[in-house]
Amino acid sequence: MTVDERLRLALQEDVGSGDVTTSATVPEDRVGQARAVLREPCVLSGLEVFERVFNLVDRALEIQSPYRDGNQADAQAVVAVVRGRLASILTGERTALNLLQRLCGIATLTHRLVQAVAGTPCRILDTRKTTPLWRDLEKKAVHHGGGKNHRFGLFDGILIKDNHVAAAGGVRAAIQRARQAAPHTLRVEVEVDSLEQLQEALDARADVIMLDNFSVDQVRRGVELAAGRALLEVSGGVTLETVRAYAETGVDFISVGALTHSAPAIDISLEVSA
């Protein structure tokens, strides 16, 4: 499903059979403009989607922005201006803002985590904990914030989780079966929840090992145990307050589900004038 198809469904959800408030209060031919104003500093993401929503409502609307996705902007910055029929602007307002606020929130939280680990070789990754049908936009927002994308879906990367391990009969068995079945171009990653499982994964020659819900001290011992034989990823419960300590252990990656499932939306208002 294309972005436009999803945006049309989002507009249909909000508008339904018609915007009754706007139809009742705003003359059809009245024109003006609306300014998208930040109420807090952020990293921008979703400007192209913001523009596209208004274009789908009314192709005659003109949208301009002095910014690009990935730029940083301060509070009170006017990040976009929409000009044309005010009725069209009001009809598209909520859908356009919802997406812009959400994507800016993801980019901003990602940027804060990336800055928190600056100076270490550790990279911040996203996860598949995304809003259904909006994964591509949310992962793009992570990229705009300076983070890296983990696998997009189940089809483009092998990640053996704890339930796979249980179903396969253990860490070693799961890795061996993955090696036999997987294309040679795909790395085999496995999730472990103890140092004992880490040793088992190392012995089975996993390419990447995810240390799930390890403490900082446990991660440090895991790095020593691995001794460079596999890439190590930390996942589970990492926050802005703890991410630096995890990065300084020497792990290669830290994946943070909160980037896409808990990032607070950025406060942005649309100020309309006739």
Show pLDDT as tens, one digit a residue, over the chain (274 residues). Answer: 999 999 999 999 999 999 999 999 999 999 999 999 999 999 999 999 999 999 999 999 999 999 999 999 999 999 999 999 999 999 999 999 999 999 999 999 999 999 999 999 999 999 999 999 999 999 999 999 999 999 999 999 999 999 999 999 999 999 999 999 888 888 999 999 999 999 999 999 999 999 999 999 999 999 999 999 999 999 999 999 999 999 999 999 999 999 999 999 999 999 999 8
Which residue out of 35, 161, 179, 220 is catalytically annotated? 161
- Cα Rg of the chain, angstroms: 23
Order across the sheet with 188-192: list the strands.
Answer: 123-125, 253-255, 231-235, 208-212, 188-192, 158-160
Cβ(252)–Cβ(235) under 8 Å? no
Task: For residue 231, give the nearest of 212, 211, 207 by alpha carbon.
Answer: 207
Which residue out of 83, 94, 148, 229 is catalytically annotated? 94
Helices (H), 190-242: 195-203, 216-226
Token pair belonging to 164:
């796979």
d(CA 52, CA 140): 16
Token pair belonging to 269:
């208002």
Which residue out of 69, 93, 126, 191 is catalytically annotated? 191
Task: For residue 131, give the nearest of 254, 259, 8, 14 by alpha carbon.
Answer: 259
Cβ(259)–Cβ(240) under 8 Å? no
191 is catalytic: yes
94 is catalytic: yes
Cβ(164)–Cβ(177) under 8 Å? no
Which residue out of 129, 187, 220, 229 is catalytically annotated? 129
Which residue out of 51, 93, 126, 212 is catalytically annotated? 212
